[in-house]
Amino acid sequence: EPEVTQTPSHQVTQMGQEVILRCVPISNHLYFYWYRQILGQKVEFLVSFYNNEISEKSEIFDDQFSVERPDGSNFTLKIRSTKLEDSAMYFCASSGGAPGGFFGPGTRLTVL
Amino acid sequence: AQSVSQHNHHVILSEAASLELGCNYSYGGTVNLFWYVQYPGQHLQLLLKYFSGDPLVKGIKGFEAEFIKSKFSFNLRKPSVQWSDTAEYFCAGKNYGGSQGNLIFGKGTKLSVKP
C-alpha cells in the first residue's frame, strides 16, 4: 500500500538554526499539506500546497516557514530561524483531491 | 471560531466491551468529518470519513460513526474492542471554507484495552 514517508524521524537543532523537514508524498497525489502537533496539544494545520504554490496557510505559518517541491517527489518544510516554541511533531500529508489526506509518520523537531 | 471537541481524554476498556468515543463540532454548513487513529509508534491513519449521504458511516477494522446534525456530533463506535485497538483516536473536521487539507482536530482520546 502506498504511503507518505518523512525524514528525518527526529531532528535536534539549536535555536536560530535553519531546518528542512522532508516528505515524500504518495506518487499520484497532487495536494500536499503540513501539520504540527506541539506536545500535549492538538494537531494544527500549517499549509496546503497545490500546483507548485501555497493554496492556503494558517496564522502559524509565518515568514519563518516556507515550503517547496524541489523535484517531482519531495515536499519540504523549511523553518528559517528556529525558536524554542517550534519544537513539535511535524506531519506531512497528501491527497488526490478529496478533503483529508494520508499522513506520514512525522518528524519530531526538538529546538534547544 | 470553528472547533472540534473530544471530551474523553483517556478511556480504559476490557476486551469485548463496546466503545463509543464522543466528538462534537461547532460549526454549521457543509461538514466533512473524519476519525483518525494513531497506533503506538505509527502515523495517523484514516478510520472513516463522512461527507454526505447516509449518516452512519462504516470504516475499517469494524469501526463506525454516526453523524447527528441536530447534536453536532460524530461519535465513533465499535461493538466489541480488541487489545489491538489500543491507540489514540482523533476526530477532525474540514475547516469550512478552507482548502481540502485544512482540518481542525480534536485533542484526541487515548484508548487502552485490557486483555
Look up cell 483531491; give the residue: A97
CA distance A74 to A52: 12
pLDDT in tens, A21-46: 999 999 989 999 999 999 988 999 99
Nearest residue of chain B to residue A95 (CA atoms): B101
Which whole number is the average pLDDT over A9-13? Answer: 97
For residue A65, CA distances in Å to A26, B23, B60, B93 come to 23, 31, 35, 24
Task: Tell whether the torsion through CA atoms of A35, A2, B95 and B66 is positive or negative.
Answer: negative
What pLDDT does B28 receive? 66
**Residue spans of chain B under pLDDT 50:** none
What pLDDT does A2 receive? 80
Q: Which of A43, A91, A95 to mutate to test the interface with B (most CBs of B within 10 A)?
A: A43
In this prediction, what percent of chain A has a pLDDT beyond 70? 100
| Chain B interface, Cβ < 8 Å to A | 32, 34, 36, 42-46, 49, 51, 90, 92, 94-95, 98-108
Q: B107: which chain A residues are within 8 Å (Cβ-Cβ)?
A: 41-42
Q: Is 90 exceeded by the pLDDT of residue A72?
A: no
Instruction: Tell me the pLDDT band of A98, cut-offs 50, 70 and 90.
Output: confident
Which is it for strands A75-79 and A65-68: parallel, antiparallel or unpaired? antiparallel
Q: Is 80 exceeded by the pLDDT of residue A1?
A: no
Cell of B73: 456530533
Look up cell 469494524; give the residue: B62
Q: Enumerate the β-bridge partners of residue A6.
A: A23
